[in-house]
Amino acid sequence: QVQLVESGGGLVQPGGSLRLSCAASGFTLDYYVIGWFRQAPGKEREGVSCISTSDVSTYYADSVKGRFTISRDNAKNTVYLQMNSLKPEDTAVYYCAVGKGWGPRGPILSEYDYWGQGTQVTVSS
């Protein structure tokens, strides 16, 4: 059974850091493109970061470049999203998903399958 489970969310003050985890079961993450997405209340789900197979390339939304880092630990079958210098506008539910890749404008949601349940990130003082 294919399953993705996100964890690591929480409440953090502006300027703080969190590391999100996306643990996979039922398949090997290294063989697939993995994306991190987020959805804030009243807004559409948006792509945040993606990592290609064999970690050849990565994508970051302009809003998180220089602050977020995506990585993969194949031994743990887990993809991480290290989030630094967090801002209130980063508040959202964060999801990971398996997909086909991304284009110049980022990942296309319809090309991503097997979504996790999400983890809440709240940035507030």
pLDDT value of residue 56: 80
- Over the stretch 35-85, which tens digit does the pLDDT of each residue have? 999 999 999 999 999 999 877 899 999 999 999 999 999 999 999 999 999
70 within 8 A of 22, measured Cβ to Cβ? no
Percent of the chain's residues with pLDDT above 90? 89
Residue 108, C-beta contacts closer than 8 angstroms, at least 6 positions apart:
102
pLDDT value of residue 6: 97
